Structures are given as C-alpha cells and as structure tokens.
Amino acid sequence: MESATTTALTFRDATDADVDALVALIESAYRGDSSRAGWTTEADILEGQRTDPEGVREVVASPDSRLLAVERDGRIVACCQLERRGEHAYFGMFAVSPALQGAGLGRAVIAEAERQVRETWGVREMHMTVISVREDLIAWYERRGYRRTGRTSPFPYGDERFGVPLRDDLRFELLVKELA
C-alpha cells in the first residue's frame, strides 16, 4: 500500500455537494462496525450518530469556519474542520477513512491544516477537544506536538446529535499546540 504522503492528495474547501459524502466518512470513522476497521473508533463508548447533514452544512456555511475535504483519486478520504477563534484556530470534525488509517494520511492532513491556519489566519495556536478516555488518540496527538491542558468541558449527555454514551464518565479535554 502506498503511503498517504507519497500519493497525491487534494485539499479543498468542502461545499454543500459534499455533505452526504462527508457525513458517511465521519460516521464510518467513529461509529458502528465499519469504524472498527480503523483505530479511531468510538463504538465502545458511544452509539448513535457522530454528526448529521445539518451539522456538516453549518460548518460549511459558517464564515469563521472551513471544512477541509481531502481527496485522493477524486474520492473524499479525510476531512477536518478549521475554525478561527480569535488568536487561535480550532481543529475538529477530523476523520480519515478507516481503510486508510495507519498509513500516514492523518499526519498529512493535520500538518496541512496547521500550515493553512498559520498562513491564512496568522494564528499561533491550534486547539482541539478530545474525549478524555481516548488515551490512544490523545497519545497520537501528543506525538504530533499537542499538549494536554487538563482543562475539560462536559460531554453533552442527553443531546443525541453527538451520540448516545455507553458510559457516564465522558468529558472533553482541551489539547493545544503552538504553531511555529
């Protein structure tokens, strides 16, 4: 298998025409049996949806936000949300096709996202929130230069737009990276 860093990737802003493909990608990376093909699955801690067409459309339409669609061979294989929040940017809605995880694609996407927010918005920090029990995922971000802050926010229990929790100890932890 060719590595994601040697295969041509196209980065572009998502449009309304991409919404269905993006929802399918995000769901496949985090929910249900298809997500178990990759290592980013949340299937053991959350059921239900990860996102929906309305949520994706909101990000696409927001003036302070971009949804970066990543294509290989004309097919969307990854995505991430970039949102300008004053002095920093927020990185979210990150998904890589489960069949392509572990080949460097995620590293390539996050590096391009950091480059774009630094050059386009001039921000010096990238922020993200990760479910605090996702130790393997947090460790992956730490290897990319993100640091745990210990600052947490509550998981939106009862709001099924974000999933149906299978445990009662979920919360989000803020991770931050200084952008050179």
pLDDT tens-digit readout, 71-117: 999 999 999 999 999 999 999 999 999 888 888 999 999 999 999 99
pLDDT single digits (tens) 150-165: 999 998 887 777 777 7
Residue 2 reports pLDDT greater than 50: no
pLDDT at 29: 77
**Distances from the Cα of 156 to the Cα of 3, 17, 39, 117, 169, angstroms:** 37, 29, 23, 28, 12
- In this prediction, residues 7-17 reach a mean pLDDT of 93
Closest of 125, 113, 104 to residue 67, by C-alpha = 113
Residue 33 reports pLDDT greater than 80: no
pLDDT single digits (tens) 115-131: 999 999 999 999 999 98
Give the three-class secondary structure for 140: helix
Whether the CB-CB separation of 4 and 101 falls below 8 Å is answered with no
Of residues 5 and 41, more confidently modeled = 41
Backbone torsions φ then ψ of 21, nearest 5 degrees: -65, -40
Confidence of residue 1 (pLDDT cuts 50, 70, 90): very low
Contacts of 143 (CB under 8 A, 6+ apart): none
